[in-house]
Amino acid sequence: MNKIKVVHYINQFFAGIGGEEKADIKPEFKNEMIGPGTALQKQFGEEAEIVGTVICGDSYLNENVEEATKVILEMVKAAKPDLFIAGPAFNAGRYGVAAGTVAKAVQEELGIPVVTAMYVENPGADMYKKDLYIISTTNSAAGMRKAIKPLAKFALKLAKNETIGSPAEEGYLERGIRKNYFAEKIGAERAIDMLVKKLKGNEFVTEYPMPIFDHVKPGKAIVDLSKAKIALVTSGGIVPTGNPDRIESSSASKYGKYELDNMGQTAHGGYDPTYANHNPNVVVPTDALKALEAEGIIGSIHPYYYSTTGNGTSVKNSKAFADEFAKELVAAGVDGVILTST
């Protein structure tokens, strides 16, 4: 029996090249297993062999999607694999988006089975879970050992074209796909069984889970705008010239706090930056706010603005940013915030 040939995709960090300072490396192909590939190979045993590893910097791929994807497709095509695996990416946002982007391209353009793995809140999961099988992982690489085993097991099953079970059985993220099947009991009986379990306080699994949404209590209205202190916050990526804090163009891991008169460009990679770079006020309306202050419509303006890039940024990171700078705003006596996007 011939071994299943596998090509593995990882980023610069898991390749051992470096962190953020090396996130701009271009795609390269190595005829060997690297990083997590070693653990995957151990799980494969004699059934599969990693014949090559594609490495690409997260920033490079997310900022040069079309060019990078084209190059990577040629690398994968030349290796002639039976299976393509990307990650695990855990909760690394840009890595997750990159893994999903490349995996989807390989699946669609080369017709090769693909699978990736990441945390449920990774922005790549939201973007690609309907297109790909994504094995669920913990939120950090500390869960690598737990992620590798189900990833390898599922990958082999996929490569051998075996029947794929439900997300609960296989460990992949729900894809929003419902399949018809014949059950031993009719729906009414199954519903009564679940109701009885619920009334008894026993565990049960619904057949139709509802989406869960955050419930945010609206803030109190500002009584008198003419005495209010207003602050500006943006997910539009406006930063001083040169982007001194190196806020990522996608899947941001940080935000910046800057003086209002220090707006120079946008770091955002999700929209045409031409107008924002020419006049950052189109995203962070400092000029309009100053005009309102001069007219006495608002009382004053907080001297700093807070900025990050919203595209692909995880909910977890976004909440963490807000929790941090909201305390500063409250301490500074800010009464209201204008949050702008793109």
Domain boundary pick from 170, 201, 217: 170
Predicted TM-score of the model (pTM) = 0.70
Q: Are residues 157 and 236 in the same domain?
A: no
Decide the pairing of beta strands 229-234 and 300-307.
parallel
CA distances from 127 to 83, 124, 204, 267, 275 (A): 21, 5, 29, 21, 27
Partner residues linked to 85 by β-bridges = 8, 115
Vertex 250 angle, CA 244 and 254, to 5°: 50
Burial of 203 (0-12, 13-18, 19+ CB in 10 A): exposed
Total Cβ atoms within 10 A of residue 232? 22
Coil, strand or helix: which one is 342?
coil
Residues 84 and 11 in one domain: yes
Question: What is d(CA 219, CA 245) in angstroms, rounded to the nearest whole number?
Answer: 31
pLDDT at 1: 61
Q: Pick from 155, 177, 158, 153: which is nearest to 166 by CA?
A: 177
Q: Are 11 and 146 in the same domain?
A: yes
Instruction: Report if residue 179 sits inside a domain.
Output: no
pLDDT of residue 117: 97
Instruction: Judge whether 212 lies within some domain.
Output: no
Q: Check residues 240 and 316 and name the one with the higher pLDDT.
A: 240
Q: What is the CATH number of the domain that holds 80?
A: 3.40.50.2300
Same domain, 33 and 153: yes
Give how many domains the chain has, as a whole number. 2
Query: What is the model's pLDDT at position 292?
Result: 96
Report pLDDT for 252. Answer: 86
Give me the pLDDT at residue 166, please.
87
pLDDT cut 70: percent of the chain above it: 100
Q: Point out the domain boundary residue: 170, 187, 212.
A: 170
Structural domain boundaries enclosing 155:
4-170
SS3 (DSSP) at 168? helix
Residue 215 pLDDT level (bands cut at 50, 70, 90): confident
Mean pLDDT rounded to a whole number for the chain: 92
My answer on whether 162 and 263 are in the same domain is no
Band of pLDDT at residue 269, cut at 50, 70 and 90: confident
pLDDT tens readout for residues 73-132: 999 999 999 999 998 999 888 899 999 999 999 999 999 999 999 999 888 998 999 999
Calculate mean pLDDT across residues 182-210.
Answer: 90
pLDDT tens per residue across span 274-299: 999 999 999 999 999 999 999 999 99
Identify the band that residue 10 occupies on the pLDDT scale cut at 50, 70 and 90: very high
Does residue 252 share a domain with residue 141?
no
For residue 214, being part of any structural domain is answered with no
Domain stop point among 106, 135, 170: 170
Q: DSSP per residue over 267-289, as a string?
A: --SSS--HHHHH-GGGTS-HHHH
Min mean pLDDT across 80-89, 155-164, 247-256 is at: 247-256
